[in-house]
Amino acid sequence: MIKRYKRFLCDVELENGGIVTAHVANSGSMMGLKEPGLTVWLSPANNPKRKLQYSWELVEIDNGLVGINTSLPNGIVAESISASKIPSLTGYDTLRREVKYGENSRIDILLSDSDKPDCYVEVKNVTLKREEDFAEFPDAVTSRGTKHLKELGNMVKDGHRAVMFYLIQRQDCKGFALAHDIDPAYAEAFTVARKMGVEILCYDCHITTHKIELGTAQPLID
């Protein structure tokens, strides 16, 4: 890693000494994961006409690999639900992604079955870990995330099931907590949503340079 800049760009020195600019599919602060000198892993673009021929996927830290690509978690969770790897989200006939709902929003995953209420699943990518052994979210102020919590609460009010799913794209944490100091408004909305009946699920990931898979459930630390 040489530097990350303009949120969605980073310059990286390759093993052969060449320098490339890669796309960063992550709008967060990426606290602790973007320092110059860190070893990172890029993926080549399939489209030869794409302006940036590489995308930043992983960063190597002392305790292993961290996945920074926020476009992956929805697929990882959807694939895991379909494979019955998440016990509390099994038993639905239909899984749809990016379905319009609420006030001009799209739910990441909508689970449907004729014998039970629809289940709205919002997925958040988690990469932050500070002094403790637990992961935290968010790593930057997220008004969009606060809106999603309110939308999920409204779904519960309307008689549906709603789940906020935090996918920790790292494997060195022993729990999950909210970063109250980073975004107090999000933390407040989280508390309200839980009281309304929004369910919270937290899982980590098994990560290699070849694949990222759902790991184990992690406890919520209040």
Model pLDDT for residues 180-200, shown as the tens digit of each residue: 999 999 999 999 999 999 999
At residue 132, the pLDDT reads 82
Mean pLDDT of 3-17: 96
Structure tokens at 135: 């992961």
- CATH class of the domain defined by 3-67: mainly beta
Mean pLDDT of 156-165: 97
Question: Between 62 and 3, whose confidence is greater?
Answer: 3
Question: CATH classification of 73-217, choosing from 3.40.309.10, 3.60.20.10, 3.40.50.720, 3.40.1350.60?
Answer: 3.40.1350.60
CA distance 53 to 35: 22
Structure tokens at 53: 């021929």
Domain segments of the chain: what residues? 3-67, 73-217
The one-character DSSP state at 220 is B
pLDDT tens digits, one per residue of 83-128: 999 999 999 999 999 999 988 889 999 999 999 999 999 999 999 9
At residue 63, the pLDDT reads 79
